[in-house]
Amino acid sequence: MTVFHTYEPHIHYAQLGTNVTIPCGSVDQGTPVTWTANSTDLDPSHLSGSHLVLRNVDLSHSGQYSCYEGPSWHLKDRVNLKVGTPPREPSLMCRSNNYPIGFYCSWHLPSPTYIPDTFNITVIHDSQEIACEKDTGPKNRCYIRYPHLFSTKKYKVTLTVSNALGSSSTGTSFDEFAIVKPDPPENVIAKPIPNNARRLLVTWQYPSSWPDPDSFPLKFFLRYRPLIIDQWQHVELSDGTSHIITDAYAGKEYIIQVAAKDNEIGTWSDWSVAVHATPWTEEPKHLTTEAQGAGEGLQSWLGGAEAWGDSFVSHDAQGSVRLHKWSLHIQRQPITIPHQ
pLDDT digits (tens, 9 = 90+) for 3-18: 334 456 789 999 999 9
In terms of average pLDDT, the best of 21-25, 202-206, 299-303, 306-310 is 202-206
Write out pLDDT tens, residues 314-328: 444 444 444 444 444
Residue 298 has pLDDT above 70, yes or no: no
DSSP state of 216: S
pLDDT for the residue numbered 8? 67
Query: Residue 7 and residue 69: Cα distance in Å, rounded?
Result: 13
pLDDT for the residue numbered 239? 85
Write out pLDDT tens, residues 180-238: 999 999 999 999 999 999 999 999 999 999 999 999 999 999 999 999 999 999 999 99
pLDDT for the residue numbered 305? 44
Query: What's the pTM value of the predicted model, to 2 decimals?
Result: 0.72
Which residues touch 290 (CB under 8 Å, ≥6 apart)?
none
Residue 55 has pLDDT above 70, yes or no: yes
C-beta of residue 167 within 8 angstroms of C-beta of residue 160: yes
Least confident of 30-39, 49-58, 236-245, 306-315: 306-315
Query: Residue 130 and residue 123: Cα distance in Å, rounded?
Result: 5
pLDDT higher at 230 or 307:
230
Average pLDDT, the chain: 86
pLDDT (mean) for 144-152: 92
Sign of the torsion angle spanned by Cα atoms 85, 91, 97, 101: positive
Residue 309 has pLDDT above 50, yes or no: no
Give which of 183, 166, 158, 39 is closest to 107, Cα–Cα: 158
pLDDT for the residue numbered 91? 97
Percent of the chain scored above 90 by pLDDT? 72
pLDDT for the residue numbered 313? 44
Percent of the chain scored above 70 by pLDDT? 81
Read off the pLDDT band of 288 (50, 70, 90). low
pLDDT for the residue numbered 292? 52
Query: Residue 212 and residue 217: Cα distance in Å, rounded?
Result: 8
Residue 306 has pLDDT above 50, yes or no: no
Residue type, 253: E
User: What is the DSSP annotation of 250-303?
Assistant: TT--EEEEEEEEESSSS-PPPPPPPEEE----PPP-PPPHHHHHHHHHHHHHTT
